[in-house]
Amino acid sequence: MRNHLKALQRCAAVGAVALAAVSLQPGTAQAQDPGPHPAPSVVGGTPAAQGEFPWMVRLSMGCGGALYTPQIVLTAAHCVDGSGPNTSITATTGVVDLDSSQAVKVNSTQVLQAPGYNGKGKDWALIKLAKPIDQPTLKIADTTAYNDGTFTIAGWGAAAEGGGQQRYLLKATVPFVDDQTCQGAYGDSLTPGEEICAGFLDTGGVDTCQGDSGGPMFRKDDSGAWIQVGIVSWGQGCARPGYPGVYTEVSTFAADIRAAAASLGG
């Protein structure tokens, strides 16, 4: 029963394909004409400026990601099929507008899914690209020091539950929700040491949603630099009161991520 519920909550790559099928958006949002007034993506979001989050990546299976190194994208384990050679994923980088002629698109060469990933916690993966991207990278939190405060979320995912994928990158801010409160919402489905929650518990209204999976949740560190604290993972619906977004707790896996990236040749 819990597994069934979890399957509905989590946005697997398969889910992105299903969403594309029902909303006639084959593959990616790039086939979509949003018209003159594109709806916000990320529920409750506003448009990101070109260059504001230069490490943001859109992946062709319908997920987000962030440049961990110039040639490695950090995303969610549930966005990929497994580990090994893989040339089937296209990363779109360098733009807020996925249809921009300035977009830099690079294929994958290898995927590394978190060791031990079984659908509960450990929701991280690395994608090695065929060539380095000439954009800044996003550093990851390697202590719990930044697992608090206000976080920024961004993505090209749905602007509402069941909504379509977006052409333009949207952003929003959400407050930290502590483990005990988040467990009150999700019970044993939450893996507290491996997941961190964020959202407006009382009101909802702002959240990541379908297609934002794999993208970063980040904040400023004590030096004023952006630092990644989460990876969009799952939640009960989107932006519902009482149900925060659940994110992979990056600090827990920082050493594993670093070692895994080294094993892919940086």
Tell me which residues are annotated as active site.
Answer: 78, 123, 213
**Touching ligand 4AZ, residues 9-48 (CB under 6 A):** 11, 15
Question: What residue type is assigned to position 22 of the chain?
Answer: V
CB atoms inside a 10 Å sphere around CB 47:
16
Q: What is the closest distance, in whole angstroms, from the C-beta atom of residue 210 to ligand 4AZ in the complex?
A: 4
Check residue 228 for interaction with ligand 4AZ (CB under 6 A): no
Candidates 55, 146, 151, 234: give the one binding ligand 4AZ (CB under 6 A).
234
Check residue 245 for interaction with ligand 4AZ (CB under 6 A): yes
How many chain residues touch ligand 4AZ (CB under 6 A)?
14
Q: What is the closest distance, in whole angstroms, from the C-beta atom of residue 208 to ligand 4AZ in the complex?
A: 4
CB atoms inside a 10 Å sphere around CB 191:
19
Under 8 Å between Cβ of 131 and 106: yes
Instruction: State the number of CA atoms in the 13 A half-sphere of 184 facing the CB.
Output: 9
Check residue 247 for interaction with ligand 4AZ (CB under 6 A): no
Q: Which residue is nearest to ligand 4AZ (CB)?
A: 11
Check residue 165 for interaction with ligand 4AZ (CB under 6 A): no
Residue 156 to residue 47: CA distance in whole angstroms: 10
Question: What residue type is assigned to position 264 of the chain?
Answer: L
Return the closest-CA partner of residue 169 out of 231, 230, 75, 95.
Answer: 95
Q: 6 is written with which tokens?
A: 């979890």
Under 8 Å between Cβ of 203 and 241: yes
Task: Identify the three-state secondary structure at position 124.
Answer: coil
Q: Site map for ligand 4AZ, 67-96, x if CB under 6 A?
A: ------------------------------
Composition of the chain by helix, strand, coil, percent to 5 = 20, 30, 50
Nearer to ligand 4AZ, 11 or 48 (CB): 11
Nearer to ligand 4AZ, 137 or 176 (CB): 176
Check residue 111 for interaction with ligand 4AZ (CB under 6 A): no
Nearer to ligand 4AZ, 197 or 261 (CB): 197
Under 8 Å between Cβ of 33 and 81: no
Q: What is the closest distance, in whole angstroms, from the C-beta atom of residue 157 to ligand 4AZ in the complex?
A: 6
Candidates 97, 123, 207, 249: give the one binding ligand 4AZ (CB under 6 A).
207
Check residue 213 for interaction with ligand 4AZ (CB under 6 A): yes
Task: Identify the three-state secondary structure at position 6.
Answer: helix
Check residue 189 for interaction with ligand 4AZ (CB under 6 A): no
Nearer to ligand 4AZ, 9 or 50 (CB): 9
Q: 239 is written with which tokens?
A: 């932006």
Check residue 64 for interaction with ligand 4AZ (CB under 6 A): no
Return the closest-CA partner of residue 215 out of 76, 102, 112.
Answer: 76
Provide the binding-site residues for ligand 4AZ, judged by CB under 6 A: 11, 15, 207-213, 232, 234-235, 238, 245
